Amino acid sequence: MLQRDYTTSQLDVLEAEAIHIMREVAAEFERPCLLFSGGKDSIVMLRIAEKAFWPAPIPFPLMHVDTGHNFDEVIEFRDRRTAELGARLIVASVQESIDQGRVVEQTGRRASRNRLQTTTLLDAIEAHEFDAVFGGARRDEEKARAKERVFSFRDDFGQWDPKNQRPELWNLYNSRIRKGEHIRVFPLSNWTELDVWDYIRREGIEIPSIYFAHTRKVFERDGMLLPDADVVQRGDDEPLFEAVVRYRTVGDMTCTGAVQSPATTVEEIIEEIAATRITERGATRADDRSSEAAMEDRKREGYF
């Protein structure tokens, strides 16, 4: 007699939850969008969006807040993947915000455009009248995100206030907002970095080559390996050297570090992550090596 296995895997449960969240947003909001940078979390979100609405096209645009200091490999992947899906991509430029006087660029060795993204993002949300914005944040990344709701309410200034967050009972979400307010939606809230990679392996999802081991010129700063690039200011006391590295997360080159790794396949990356005791952002993001209070301030400003 044929035996059938009806058990549901952890990935199946996480995927079903994320699909439910995306369909809920599409049904309840007028103008949602999905933040897509070409990084692994947004790539997984994009695959879930494909599944949620297949065979119809994804019913909302994609948006990337571009600092102008992104890795070439990631931007190339972003544009190619968007074209393959026939999706609409909105690029909100930090450089344009600087040119318009909306933000002031930092100077010095540790200058970064990463924090300037807040103004650019909020301006784009207002200009396009988005009332829901999908983000790829996960609760395992750091403490400020661990306390985040799936539906994160933002006021008409784009700010996050813990006292204004709504209770989320079971899988019931409160989508009511006034004009000018919006909701940040995090379908991957309950995922871990290992879950993301397991899903990439299971689904056979293509990701940028920068996530795999390669030889790159880097220099060390505060225990992190930063890339040799025109936009990254290096001091005389920070010598360049070649190393076999990969990136666990990608973002602005000025604050995203590489990790030394020989992993050239998804399977090897999964083995590596399963053994590590350092979070991806703690290991590779200079802007996240700050106090919990500082991260709370960034969230209140509307960055994530």
The string of DSSP letters for 72-87 reads HHHHHHHHHHHHHHT-
**Pairing outcome for strands 259-260 and 214-221:** unpaired
CA triple 51-12-59, angle to 5 deg: 20
Q: Are residues 171 and 239 in the same domain?
A: no
Residue 70 in domain: yes
Q: Are residues 162 and 222 in the same domain?
A: no
Residue 88 in domain: yes
Q: Are residues 140 and 230 in the same domain?
A: no
Give the pLDDT score at 276: 83
Residue 254 in domain: yes
Residue 287 in domain: no
**pLDDT string in tens for the chain (304-residue length):** 567 767 789 999 999 999 999 999 999 999 999 999 999 999 999 999 999 999 999 999 999 999 999 999 999 999 999 999 999 999 999 999 999 999 998 888 888 888 889 999 999 999 999 999 999 999 888 777 778 899 999 998 889 888 888 888 888 999 999 999 999 999 999 999 999 999 999 999 999 999 999 999 999 998 889 999 888 888 889 899 999 999 998 888 888 899 999 999 999 999 999 988 777 666 555 555 555 555 555 555 655 5
Helix (H, G, I), strand (E, B) or coil at 281: helix
Q: Are residues 216 and 186 in the same domain?
A: no
Residue 58 in domain: yes
Q: Are residues 18 and 130 in the same domain?
A: yes
**What's the Cα-to-Cα distance from 210 to each of 206, 247, 250, rounded to whole Å?**
12, 6, 8
Q: Are residues 76 and 180 in the same domain?
A: yes
Q: Are residues 123 and 241 in the same domain?
A: no
- Nearest partner of 272 among 280, 281, 264, 263, judged by Cα: 263
Q: Which CATH number do you get for residue 116?
A: 3.40.50.620
Q: Are residues 236 and 136 in the same domain?
A: no
Q: Are residues 149 and 15 in the same domain?
A: yes
Q: Are residues 186 and 214 in the same domain?
A: no
Residue 93 in domain: yes
Residue 203 in domain: no
Q: Are residues 96 and 21 in the same domain?
A: yes
Residue 281 in domain: no
- Total domains, the chain: 2
Query: In terms of residue numbers, what domain contains 58?
Result: 10-196+292-301
The pTM of the full predicted model, rounded to 2 decimals, is: 0.89
Q: Are residues 191 and 212 in the same domain?
A: no
Give the pLDDT score at 294: 52
